[in-house]
């Protein structure tokens, strides 16, 4: 009994340590799970990743098109270097081309009033080929463009998007907005998802899969796919088609499933594409002048 | 003494709880700091943010160009709706334009051999104006393009990038690579940062600042700025200029300081721009065929 009394403090200390350890374990798991949600390696395992560019939704490394520097030299070494021959324009022609391209792109607007008129499929194919010329981290080309023209699938997509959007509006905007339902409706009702001849759903592949089943890191996949969307927008504008640059909130997983895309693909953007409706309107917005976006040193 | 002996277990338990609590506190701090590094609100404060699109480096909402749906109707309400008139091309012309644009963009490559030959400044200005036509979350236009032609500043940038890149290479690649220093040197030595007539440093504004000093949320700023980089790449390619799409690792904060950019701006990309050197080479890489990137439904 005396022995037990003497040992009690030690037993209690031991018990406390065990309990303390058990308390610490789940916390460590919690602490890591938000940053490993996509099975991405931890930031501290990748000391070379720029703090500014860390993104917990994906694997990241160094952005570079041609399987080149920083962390993918292995790949570049497999490729022969070949001469590069570029188009060379005289100065006046360069200046004119730069102005014309700016004028063309500056006419682009987000258009929610899309005509049901059919659009040649080959034009859409060429726009997506153009998007596919974007640079990507280590030349992984981590994009999938799902082009939907089937009316039933378009309608399913619309139902999913509108259902989620309605929740988004109400959760986010609260009483102030609920009062004015008619105005809200114009926002979460997305007729163009039925009407547009094509919906382009852009997926980022957060990683690739090697023949042996291992994951292939897709460096900076979100930035790469966004750049390719920039080229896609340019290509559509260049042929007189319009779109809405949208990222439907909370719809990604549902849309991925109905489109039967694999789990390594995440929806980045949903672009309804077509000719503008003849009565299309846009908000009267200005763009920032050059001095507000350019700093020369 | 007997009393003390009886109380000992309780004192020990109390002490253990205090120690356990002290151990837990710093862990909680650790757990939250990676996701609040940019002062961004926590994900759980923003239930409307799509899980697929969460990014702890920035504030996010719904991507949309024209101050429009989901969460920025306040802004749209301030703007008149005006008719939109688009260019309309006949079908044959659309098809031809789509092919020509694809052919032009498909010739773009990342070029590391840049000629020192001067480039008209107005061409660069037009390319940046073009980038500024990109859509952005709630029309926030969250980009700053810093165009550096000053040789001294270019050299400072080169020194910072090369120093960090050397560390990146050695930390990442280890002994295998250290052995072959000469090969490594061709990768972390970036002569083009001195040679290219212009360096364009693209900053994303992770939030704006309202006149009253409050933060203005810049929804999806990284996606928006990446799309604008896509348009910038298209504009440069359209005039026969070349670049390297690079995201210099760990250099963002240092480069931001020497370029005197405010704390709400983070470096997204560094693009050296100029004519290609006459002996420029590229790795012999192929792009994925259409069937690998397009799924039709």
pLDDT digits (tens, 9 = 90+) for B253-292: 999 999 999 999 999 999 999 999 999 999 988 999 999 9
Residue B103 distance to chain A (closest CA, Å): 8
Q: Verify whether the Cβ–Cβ distance A98 to B235 is below 8 Å.
A: yes
Q: Verify whether the Cβ–Cβ distance A95 to B52 is below 8 Å.
A: no
Residue B116 distance to chain A (closest CA, Å): 15
**A14 near B17, Cβ under 8 Å?**
no
Best to test chain B binding among A4, A59, A249, A290 (most B CBs inside 10 Å): A249
pLDDT of A250 > 80? The answer is yes
Q: Verify whether the Cβ–Cβ distance B172 to A48 is below 8 Å.
A: yes
Q: Verify whether the Cβ–Cβ distance B287 to A83 is below 8 Å.
A: no
Which residues does chain B have within 8 Å of residue A276's beta carbon, measured at their own beta carbons? 84, 86
Q: What percent of chain A has pLDDT over 70?
A: 68
Quote the pLDDT of residue B231.
98
In angstroms, the CA A206 to CA A38 distance is 8
In angstroms, the CA B74 to CA A42 distance is 39
pLDDT of A197 > 90? The answer is yes
pLDDT of A249 > 60? The answer is yes
pLDDT of B297 > 90? The answer is yes
**What is the ipTM metric for this complex?**
0.76
* Mean pLDDT on A188-216: 92
Which residues does chain A have within 8 Å of residue B111's beta carbon, measured at their own beta carbons? 84, 86
Q: Verify whether the Cβ–Cβ distance B68 to A187 is below 8 Å.
A: yes
pLDDT of A224 > 70? The answer is yes
Question: What are the φ/ψ torsions at residue A296 (nearest 5 degrees)?
Answer: -105, 130
pLDDT confidence tier of residue B250, bands split at 50, 70 and 90: confident
pLDDT confidence tier of residue B79, bands split at 50, 70 and 90: confident
In angstroms, the CA A229 to CA A248 distance is 15
Question: What are the φ/ψ torsions at residue A102 (nearest 5 degrees)?
Answer: -60, -45
Q: Verify whether the Cβ–Cβ distance A230 to B235 is below 8 Å.
A: no
Residue B20 distance to chain A (closest CA, Å): 6
Residue A189 falls in which region: left (phi positive, over 0), alpha (psi -120 to 50) or beta = beta
Q: What is the DSSP string of B220-276?
A: THHHHHHHHHHHHHHHHHHTT-EE--B--TTTHHHHHHHTT--TTEEEEEEEEEEPB
In angstroms, the CA B256 to CA B228 distance is 20
Of residues B104 and A76, the one with the higher pLDDT is B104
Nearest Cα residue in chain A from B222: A223
pLDDT in tens, A96-153: 999 999 999 999 999 999 999 999 999 999 999 999 999 998 889 999 999 999 999 9
Query: Which candidate from A63, A261, A296 shows the least CB-CB separation from B247?
Result: A63
Q: Verify whether the Cβ–Cβ distance A70 to B143 is below 8 Å.
A: no
Which residues does chain A have within 8 Å of residue B47's beta carbon, measured at their own beta carbons? 171
Query: Which candidate from B57, B101, B285 shows the least CB-CB separation from A79?
Result: B285
pLDDT of A187 > 80? The answer is no
Half-sphere exposure of residue A251: CA atoms within 13 angstroms, side-chain side: 27
Q: Measured between alpha carbons, how far is residue A249 from residues A234, B5, B52, B65, B186 in Å?
A: 24, 62, 9, 15, 44
pLDDT confidence tier of residue A78, bands split at 50, 70 and 90: low
Quote the pLDDT of residue A25.
42
Of A97-101, A178-182, A283-287, B214-218, give the range with the top mean pLDDT. A97-101
Which residues does chain A have within 8 Å of residue B238's beta carbon, measured at their own beta carbons? 97-98, 101
pLDDT in tens, B18-63: 554 444 443 333 333 333 333 333 333 333 333 333 333 333 344 3
Mean pLDDT (chain B, rounded): 78
pLDDT of B9 > 80? The answer is no
Residue B162 distance to chain A (closest CA, Å): 11
Quote the pLDDT of residue B157.
96
Nearest Cα residue in chain B from A290: B129
pLDDT of B16 > 80? The answer is no
Q: What is the CA radius of gyration of chain B?
A: 26
Of residues B174 and A287, the one with the higher pLDDT is A287
Give me A96's structure tokens: 């004119």
In angstroms, the CA B222 to CA B59 distance is 10
Write down the pTM of the prediction.
0.76
Which residues does chain B have within 8 Å of residue A128's beta carbon, measured at their own beta carbons? 290, 293-294
Q: Verify whether the Cβ–Cβ distance B56 to A55 is below 8 Å.
A: yes
pLDDT of A73 > 70? The answer is no
Picking from A7-16, A62-71, A141-150, B151-160, which range would have the lowest pLDDT averaged per residue? A62-71
Quote the pLDDT of residue A219.
84
pLDDT of B224 > 50? The answer is yes
Mean pLDDT (chain A, rounded): 78
* Mean pLDDT on B173-185: 50
Query: Which candidate from A50, A188, A230 shows the least CB-CB separation from B134?
Result: A230
Query: Which candidate from B54, B285, B294 shows the least CB-CB separation from A66?
Result: B285
Quote the pLDDT of residue B168.
76
Query: Which candidate from A102, A108, A226 shows the least CB-CB separation from B226?
Result: A226
Q: What is the DSSP string of A118-136?
A: ---HHHHHHHHHHHTTS--
């Amino acid at each position: 009994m005396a022995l037990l009394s003497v040992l009690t403090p030690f037993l209690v200390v031991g018990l406390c340590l065990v309990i303390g350890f058990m308390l610490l374990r789940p916390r460590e798991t919690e602490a890591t799970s938000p940053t490993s949600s996509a099975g991405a390696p931890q930031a501290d395992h990748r000391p070379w990743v720029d703090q500014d560019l860390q993104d917990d939704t994906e694997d990241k490394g160094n952005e570079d098109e041609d399987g080149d520097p920083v962390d993918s030299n292995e790949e570049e070494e497999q490729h022969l270097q070949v001469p590069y021959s570029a188009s060379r324009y005289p100065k006046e022609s360069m200046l004119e081309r730069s102005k014309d391209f700016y004028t063309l792109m500056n006419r682009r607007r987000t258009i929610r009033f899309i005509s049901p008129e059919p659009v040649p499929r080959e034009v859409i194919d060429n726009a997506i080929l153009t998007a596919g010329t974007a640079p990507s981290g280590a030349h992984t080309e981590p994009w999938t463009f799902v082009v939907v023209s089937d009316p039933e699938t378009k309608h399913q997509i619309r139902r999913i998007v509108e259902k989620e959007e309605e929740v988004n509006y109400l959760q986010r905007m609260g009483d102030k907005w609920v009062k004015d339902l008619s105005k809200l409706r114009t926002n979460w009702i997305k007729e163009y998802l039925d009407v547009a001849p094509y919906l382009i759903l852009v997926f980022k592949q957060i990683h690739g899969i090697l023949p042996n089943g291992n994951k292939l890191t897709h460096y900076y996949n979100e930035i790469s796919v966004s750049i390719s969307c920039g080229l896609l927008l340019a290509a559509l504008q260049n042929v007189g088609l319009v779109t809405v640059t949208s990222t439907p909130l909370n719809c990604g997983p549902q849309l991925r499933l109905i489109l039967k895309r694999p789990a390594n693909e995440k929806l980045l953007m949903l672009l309804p594409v077509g000719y503008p409706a003849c009565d299309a309107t846009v908000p009267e917005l200005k763009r920032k002048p050059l001095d507000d976006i350019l700093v020369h040193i």
